[in-house]
Amino acid sequence: MGATIRDIQKLTGLSLATISKYLNGGNVLPENRAAIGRAIEELHYEVNEVARGLKTRQTRIVGVLLHDLKNIFAGTIISRMEDILRQHGYGMFLCDCRGNPELEGEEIQFLLGKQVDGIITFPTSENSGYLKLARERGIPIVLIDRMFDDQEFDSVIVDNETASKLAVEKLLAYGHRRIGMICGDEHYYTARKRLYGFCRAMEVTGAEACIAKGELTVGHGYEAMKKMLDMKERPTAVFLSNYEITLGAVIAMNEQNVSFPKEISVIGFDNMMLAQVVKPKLWMITQPMEQIAVRAAEIMMERLKNGSSREPQVEILQTMLSEGESIGRIV
Amino acid sequence: MGATIRDIQKLTGLSLATISKYLNGGNVLPENRAAIGRAIEELHYEVNEVARGLKTRQTRIVGVLLHDLKNIFAGTIISRMEDILRQHGYGMFLCDCRGNPELEGEEIQFLLGKQVDGIITFPTSENSGYLKLARERGIPIVLIDRMFDDQEFDSVIVDNETASKLAVEKLLAYGHRRIGMICGDEHYYTARKRLYGFCRAMEVTGAEACIAKGELTVGHGYEAMKKMLDMKERPTAVFLSNYEITLGAVIAMNEQNVSFPKEISVIGFDNMMLAQVVKPKLWMITQPMEQIAVRAAEIMMERLKNGSSREPQVEILQTMLSEGESIGRIV
DNA sequence: GAATAAGAGCGAAACGTTTCGCGGTCAGGA
DNA sequence: TCCTGACCGCGAAACGTTTCGCTCTTATTC
């Protein structure tokens, strides 16, 4: 359907080599340059990137594999990454494995089949096995949101432990001594880290902890919050350690007509919009999504340009605690 | 790096043609089949989709071009579409033009260069000009969320006019006679439709309308709501006609300590989570995101299989009004 | 037992680029 | 005038598949 370089050849009488040189910015005589330009215009010619990819062995496509596209977290990051990749002439191939480790392995294979030049992934699996094929292929890989024990990959992560510490310290400062945490099960990397940070921060103080582990879902946040509210010696404050959980917990409080911070204090996670829309405004731990995206994309571009010369690089970004009105002072 | 079909040839002594037949499910003797299987295993062979794409002239990639990935709307739909495409062996190439019509045209060209087999797009531009190149190429195109006057494209859209009508009728039923609407400017397709639906529904009743047009942003929702609240004859109810506007309006009400539905009634748009997290729960118009995604992907797959034989097909889906507690009765 | 058909495999030619190595031209310096 | 480079253009050979048209083998039928 589309015109090829051969059509340009016919129209201009020049050789394929010369036309290719033109397309790739080489030196071509002004008159020939003009002739080719005209032909391209006339034919609506456009480089067939598939053919080019076959020959050059690079597709200028980066594969992005994540575990939940519905997450705001994901959307924001993807959007920013796409922006940066495109600025460098790269496109983005997107896969969503929906938190399914088996699918995750298949998707990697799929991406490799498509000959992507690099892979940015939000891992689901507990170990890096699923990346084996990709690593053997020698293409750059960047991990987001979690890393593996074998620190063999470039990674951009957030300091989840300190995030919990931030929350705990704030609550302690307000005088709370019985503090709840609703969090994900330990087999989720981020949940584990946040839990660990919470425990460590609590340990040194004499404060009493109350932990509700479960899925990273609205449902778990909802149920766990309801249970905490029903306890006879219930916590005076609760740390809601991810977005979905925060959402669920707020819904539970609304339903039970629990007013905060009067009856209970809370700190939420991840989403400023949610913080503002709830009344009174929630204290909120937020992740630097923008920066995560930028760093991941930049590291990828750098590897793509300079190869895997340097050692794997783990970049740890800090979360922020932003002020709200959902913590009450205990006297 | 990766093994090629030629390596398999060396290992098995069979011809390229036979191996290709194996890969594409043709008839091959059991013993040869086994031999090839073994070789593939041993070499970790994987089909190079780029080479295959060059030869077969199809990449099994669908390009998706949208105007704002940060939107929940987008995330949910993309996620579901990716799922369906993958089930049919297709991958998804993602571009975000950020509501910039110029970029939109470039991205289409970019996708065509990558030789995608089809394009699903959430249009930004006011007319279909930017799709010209894609149409000339003859690949299937599916529009989501808006259509053009020349109904030459398959489209999956939502009945925005009826959505407004739903909202207005509900408010009328509760006795409201002075009704506000905060909406996007008329040059946004969906905003225009919703506004038109609102006006038409209001027309026949004697009720008084108060309309605040602007950008489709949280900021506009916030400012417009503040202004409405400050009016001396302010509306007794306001229809917030998209997600960002709803968000902004709720923030404004929180800030001004306006309690609803006591002081003012509201109906929001697009997001059930938001509806639930706000207290009291918001009445909400919601779009059938799941269904939009499914239909768009299905139409694309059908075109990909059967060509563009049939006439362009415009599918109009209905929104739903889901109950909350944010509308008060006027007596 | 000959004729026929079906089943398998093969070689070679594509698909649309890029790139290597060669050759020709022309200007400038010795 | 000859030599040296720089500059340009060219032909041909890839890149890793699929597919067309052919041949060979084997089973089936009368």
A309 pLDDT above the threshold of 80: no
Classify residue B13 by its DSSP letter.
-
Structure confidence at residue A2 (pLDDT): 80
Residue A1 has pLDDT above 70, yes or no: no
Taking CB atoms and an 8 Å limit, are A82 and B71 in contact across chains? Answer: no
CA dihedral (A168, A173, A175, A176) in degrees, to 10, reads -10
pLDDT band at B2 (very low <50, low <70, confident <90, very high): confident
Sheet with B154-158: list strands edge to edge: A314-317, A154-158, A141-144, A118-121, A61-66, A91-96, B91-96, B61-66, B118-121, B141-144, B154-158, B314-317
Q: Give B55 CA → D17 C1' in Å.
A: 6
- Check B75 against A79: CB less than 8 A apart: no
β strands within chain A, DSSP E: 61-66, 91-96, 118-121, 141-144, 154-158, 178-184, 208-214, 237-240, 265-269, 283-286, 314-317, 320-322
Please report the DSSP string for A232-301 in residue order. TT--SEEEE-SHHHHHHHHHHHHHTT--TTTT-EEEEES-HHHHHHSSSPPEEEE--HHHHHHHHHHHHH
Instruction: Give the CA B18 to C1' D20 distance in Å.
Output: 14
DSSP A326: -
Nearest to B247 among A83, A254, A277 (CB): A277
**What are the chain A neighbours of B278 within 8 Å (beta carbons)?**
277-279
Q: Which residues of A touch B92 (CB under 8 A)?
A: 93-95
Is residue A196 helix, strand or coil? helix
Chain B residues near residue A106 by CB distance under 8 angstroms: none
From A200's Cα to the closest Cα of chain B, the distance in A is 31
Instruction: Name the residue among A139, A163, A144 with its Cα closest to residue A154.
Output: A144
**Cβ pair B54:A59 closer than 8 A:** no
Alpha-carbon dihedral sign for residues A94, B301, B105, B111: positive
What strands, in cross-sheet order, belong to the sheet with A283-286? A208-214, A178-184, A237-240, A265-269, A283-286, A320-322
**Chain A CA closest to residue B256:** A279
The answer to whether A91 contacts B95, with C-beta atoms less than 8 Å apart, is yes
Pick out the nucleotide with least CA–C1' distance to B115: C16
**pLDDT at position B329 over 90:** yes
Tell me if B199 sits within 8 A of B239, measured CB to CB. Answer: no
Contact by Cβ (8 Å): B283, B324: yes
Q: Dihedral (C-alpha) A13, A14, A17, A21: value to the nearest 10 degrees?
A: -140
* CB atoms near residue B109 (< 10 Å): 13
Write down the pLDDT at residue B78.
95
Which protein residue lies nearest to nucleotide D15, measured between its Cα and the C1' atom?
Answer: A55
Q: What is the mean pLDDT of chain A?
A: 93
The pLDDT assigned to B150 comes to 81
Q: Percent of chain A having pLDDT more than 90?
A: 83
**CA–C1' nearest nucleotide, residue B17:** C10
DSSP state letter for B96 = E
Residue A319 DSSP symbol: P
**Nearest CA-CA distance, residue B205 and chain A, Å:** 33
Q: Which of B69, B79, B280 sits opposite A79 (nearest CB)?
A: B69
DSSP of B125-155, one letter per residue? SSSGGGGHHHHHHT--EEEES---SS--SEE
pLDDT of residue B309: 72
Enumerate helices (H) and strands (E) in chain B, giving the number of each: 13, 12
- The Cα B175–Cα B186 span in angstroms is 28
CB of A14 nearer than 7 A to strand D:
yes
For chains A and B, what is the number of CB pairs under 8 angstroms?
145
Mean pLDDT score, A105-119: 96
Considering only alpha carbons, which residue of chain B is nearest residue A63?
Answer: B93
Residue B174 burial (CB count, 10 A): 16
Rounded Cα gap, residues A94 and A61, in angstroms? 10
- In the numeric block, which tokens belong to residue B14? 């069979």
Are B278 and A277 in contact (CB < 8 Å)?
A: yes
Q: Give the nearest partner residue to B93 out of A54, A91, A137, using CB atoms.
A: A91
Burial of residue A152 (CB within 10 Å: 0-12, 13-18, 19+) is middle
| Res. A27: pLDDT tops 90 | no
- B164 has pLDDT over 80: yes
Contact B164, B201 (CB under 8 A): yes
| Percentage of chain A exceeding pLDDT 70 | 100
Question: Does nucleic acid strand D have an atom less than 7 angstroms from the CB of B47?
Answer: yes
Closest residue, chain A, to B60 (C-alpha): A114
Alpha-carbon gap, residue A195 to A181, rounded angstroms? 8
Instruction: Please tell me which residue of chain B has the smallest CA distance to A277.
Output: B251
Angstrom distance (rounded) from CA B44 to CA B57: 25
Q: Is the per-residue pLDDT at B331 higher than 90?
A: no
Contact B93 A94 (CB under 8 A): yes
Read off the pLDDT band of A68 (50, 70, 90). confident
- Max CA distance (Å), chain A: 89
Separation of CA B26 and C1' C21 in angstroms?
42
Q: Using the CB atom, is residue A234 less than 7 Å from strand C? A: no
Task: Compare CB distances from B277 to A75, A112, A247 and report the shortest one's residue.
Answer: A247
Instruction: Compute the average pLDDT of residues B48-60.
Output: 96
Beta strands in B201-240 (DSSP E): 208-214, 237-240
pLDDT per residue as tens digits for the range A255-271: 999 998 999 999 999 98
- Protein residue nearest nucleotide D14, by CA to C1': A55
Cβ–Cβ under 8 Å, residues A95 and A125? no
Which of chain C's bases lie under 7 Å from a protein CB? Answer: 7-21
Mean pLDDT of all residues in B3-19:
93
Helix and strand numbers (H, E) in chain A are 13, 12
- Which among B197, B193, B258, B270 is positioned nearest to B230, based on CA atoms? B258
Angstroms from A234 CA to nearest CA on chain B: 22
Please state, in angstroms and rounded to a whole number, the distance separating the CA atoms of residues B12 and A202: 64
Residue A150 buriedness (CB in 10 A; 0-12 / 13-18 / 19+): exposed
In this predicted structure, the answer to whether residue B36 has a pLDDT above a threshold of 90 is yes
The shortest CB-CB distance from B79 to any of A96, A250, A274 is to: A96
Does any strand C atom come closer than 7 Å to the Cβ of A26? no
| All structural domains of chain A | 5-47 (no CATH), 60-158+290-318 (3.40.50.2300), 160-287 (3.40.50.2300)
Written as one letter, the residue type at A75 is G
Contact A79 B93 (CB under 8 A): no
- Asked if strand D comes closer than 7 Å to B329 Cβ, the answer is no
CA of A27 to C1' of C30 (A): 29
Euclidean distance between CA atoms B77 and B71, whole angstroms:
10
The overall average pLDDT reported for chain B is: 93
| Residue length of chain A | 331
Place of tokens 């994901």: A74
pLDDT tens-place string over residues B263-308: 999 999 998 888 999 989 999 999 999 999 999 999 999 999 987 7
Residue B139's pLDDT band (cuts 50, 70, 90): very high
Which regions of chain B does DSSP assign to beta strands (E)? Answer: 61-66, 91-96, 118-121, 141-144, 154-158, 178-184, 208-214, 237-240, 265-269, 283-286, 314-317, 320-322
> pLDDT tens digits for B151-160?
889 999 999 9
Confidence at A236, pLDDT banded by 50, 70, 90: very high
Chain D positions with any atom < 7 A from a protein CB? 7-21
- The pLDDT of residue B113 is 95
Task: Evaluate if residue B1 carries a pLDDT over 80.
Answer: no
| β-pair partners for A181 | A211, A239
- Structural contact between residues B300 and B307, judged by C-beta atoms closer than 8 angstroms: no
Confidence of residue A139 (pLDDT cuts 50, 70, 90): very high
Q: What are phi and psi of B160, to 5 degrees?
A: -70, -35
CA angle B31, B32, B35 (to 5 degrees): 90
Q: Are strands B91-96 and A91-96 parallel, antiparallel or unpaired?
A: antiparallel
Contact indicator for B190, B143 with CB cutoff of 8 Å: no
Instruction: Return the closest nucleotide (C1') to the Cα of B20.
Output: D18
Residue A73 above 90 pLDDT?
no
At residue A244, the pLDDT reads: 94
Does any strand D atom come closer than 7 Å to the Cβ of B57?
A: no
- CA-to-CA dists, residue B36 to A310, B3, B265, angstroms: 38, 13, 70
CA distance B93 to chain A (A): 5
